[in-house]
Amino acid sequence: MHTGHRGSEAEEALQDINKKTGRNMPQAVATAVVLIVLILACLLIRIDAFVVLIVVFMILALWELRVDFAAAQLRFPLVLMVLSSSITLLAAYYADRHILAAAVCIAASLPLIAIGASFDFPAGARLAAAAANKTASTAAAPLEFAPRQVNRLDDVAVSIFTVLYIPLLASCIVLPLTFNDHPVAHAIIVVFLPAISDTGGLFAGAWLGKHKLSPRISPKKSVEGLLGSILFSIIGAYVIFAFTYPALWSTRWWVPIVMGAVVGIVGTFGDLCASMLKRDIGIKDMGHLLKGHGGVMDRVDSILLCAPFLAALLWATGL
Check whether residue 255 and residue 272 sit in a common domain.
yes
Residues 192, 274, single domain; the answer is yes
Backbone angles phi, psi at 292, to 5 degrees: 85, -10
Q: Are residues 39 and 58 in the same domain?
A: no
User: If you average pLDDT over residues 9-15, what whole number do you get?
Assistant: 53
Q: Are residues 286 and 315 in the same domain?
A: yes
pLDDT exceeds cutoff 60 at 74: yes
Radius of gyration of the chain (CA): 21
CA distances, 280 to each of 69, 74, 231, 240, 260 (Å): 10, 12, 31, 37, 30
Least confident segment among 32-46, 110-124, 180-194, 265-279: 110-124
Whether the per-residue pLDDT at 201 is higher than 90: the answer is no
Q: Which residue has the higher pLDDT, 98 or 73?
A: 98
Task: Please say if the pLDDT value at position 278 is more than 90.
Answer: no
Residue 244 vs residue 170, higher pLDDT = 170
Does residue 7 carry a pLDDT above 80? no
Mean pLDDT of 198-220: 78
Q: Are residues 273 and 141 in the same domain?
A: no
Cα atoms found within 13 Å of the Cα of residue 288, Cβ hemisphere only = 3
Please give the average per-residue pLDDT across 39-49, as a whole number.
93
The pLDDT of residue 65 is above 60: yes
Percent of the chain, pLDDT > 70? 76
Are 133 and 257 in the same domain?
Answer: no
Asked whether residue 39 falls in the same domain as residue 135, the answer is no
* Best CA proximity match to 260, nearest among 304, 197, 203: 197
Check residue 139 and give its pLDDT. 38
- Residues 116-147 have pLDDT tens digits of 998 865 555 555 555 545 444 433 334 344 45
Burial class (CB in 10 A: 0-12, 13-18, 19+), 260: buried
For 53-76, what is the mean pLDDT?
A: 89
**Which of these three, 178, 194, 221, is where a domain ends?**
178
How high does pLDDT run on average in the chain?
Answer: 80
Average pLDDT over residues 256-265: 92
Residue, of 168 and 119, whose pLDDT is higher: 168
* 22 & 136 share domain: no
Domain span including residue 301:
1-45+180-319
Three-class SS of the chain: CHHHHHHHHHHHHHHHHHHHHCCCHHHHHHHHHHHHHHHHHHHHHCHHHHHHHHHHHHHHHHHHHHHHHHHCCCCCCHHHHHHHHHHHHHHHHHCCCHHHHHHHHHHHHHHHHHHHHCCCCHHHHHHHHHHHHHHCCCCCCCCCCCCCCCCHHHHHHHHHHHHHHCHHHHHHHHHHHHCCCCHHHHHHHHHHHHHHHHHHHHHHHHHHCCCEEECCCEEEEEHHHHHHHHHHHHHHHHHHHHHHCHHHCCCCCCHHHHHHHHHHHHHHHHHHHHHHHHHHHCCCCCCCCECCCECHHHHHHHHHHHHHHHHHHHHHCCC
Q: Which of 144, 178, 212 is the last residue of a domain?
A: 178
pLDDT score for 140 = 38
Amino acid, single-letter form, for residue 100: L
- Give how many domains the chain has, as a whole number: 2
Q: How confident is the model at residue 286 (pLDDT cuts 50, 70, 90)?
A: low
Q: How much is the pLDDT for 217?
A: 74
At residue 212, the pLDDT reads 81
Domain boundary among 146, 178, 210: 178
Averaging pLDDT over each range in 24-33, 118-127, 160-169, 240-249, which range is the top one?
160-169
User: Does the pTM of the predicted model rise above 0.75?
Assistant: yes
